[in-house]
A and B are shown apart, each in its own frame.
Chain A
Amino acid sequence: MKFVDEYRGQAEAERIAEEIARITTRPHTLMEVCGGQTHAIVKFGIDTLLPDAIELVHGPGCPVCVTPVERIDLALEVARRSEVILCSFGDMLRVPGSHGDLFAAKAAGADVRVVYSPLDAVALAKKHPDRQVVFFAVGFETTAPAHALAVFRADQEGIANFSILTALVRVPPAMEAILGSPKCRVQGFLAAGHVCTIMGCGEYEPLAAKYKVPIVVTGFEPLDILDGVLRCVRQLEAGEARVENAYTRVVKNAGNTHAQRLLESVFEAGARDWRGLGPIPDSGLHLRGRYTEYDTVRRFGLPPVAAVAESECIAGDVLQGWKKPHECPAFGTRCTPEHPLGAPMVSGEGACAAYYRYRREDPARNSA
Chain B
Amino acid sequence: MCLAVPGKILEIDPSDLLMRTARVSFGGVVREISLALVPEAEVGGYVLAHAGIGIGMVDEEEAGHIFEALRQLDALEEVEG
Contact = CB atoms under 8 A, between A and B. Distances in A.
A156 interface: yes
Contacts, number: 118
B25 interface: no
B3 interface: yes
Given A116-B51, A117-B52, A149 B38 contact: no
Nearest to A37: B3
A55 B3 CA distance: 24
A90 B76 CA distance: 13
Contacts of A249: 58, 62
Interface string A234-257: 000000000000000110100010
Contact of A348 (B18, B50, B74, B79): B74
B75 interface: yes
Task: Bin the interface of chain A by size.
Answer: 35 or more
Nearest to B40: A258
Contact of A349 (B1, B36, B51, B66): B1
B48 A195 contact: no
Interface stretch (A140-148, A308-316, A328-336): A140-148
Give the most central of A89, A116, A120: most B CB within 10 Å. A116
B69 interface: yes
Interface in A35-91: 35-36, 39-40, 43, 61-64, 89-91
A125 interface: no
A153 B18 contact: yes
Interface string B1-29: 11110000000000000110000000000
Contacts of A36: 2-3, 73, 75
A259 B31 CA distance: 21
Contacts of A63: 1-2
B78 A142 contact: no
Contacts of B30: none
Contacts of B66: 221, 250
A149 B52 CA distance: 10
A116 B1 CA distance: 11
B56 interface: yes
A118 interface: yes
Interface of B: 1-4, 18-19, 31, 34, 36-39, 48, 50-53, 55-56, 58, 62, 65-66, 68-69, 72-75, 77-79, 81
26 contacts: A6-B72, A8-B65, A36-B3, A36-B75, A39-B73, A61-B2, A62-B1, A64-B1, A89-B1, A116-B78, A116-B81, A138-B1, A139-B1, A143-B50, A149-B34, A197-B48, A197-B56, A220-B69, A221-B65, A250-B48, A250-B62, A256-B55, A258-B36, A259-B55, A348-B74, A348-B75
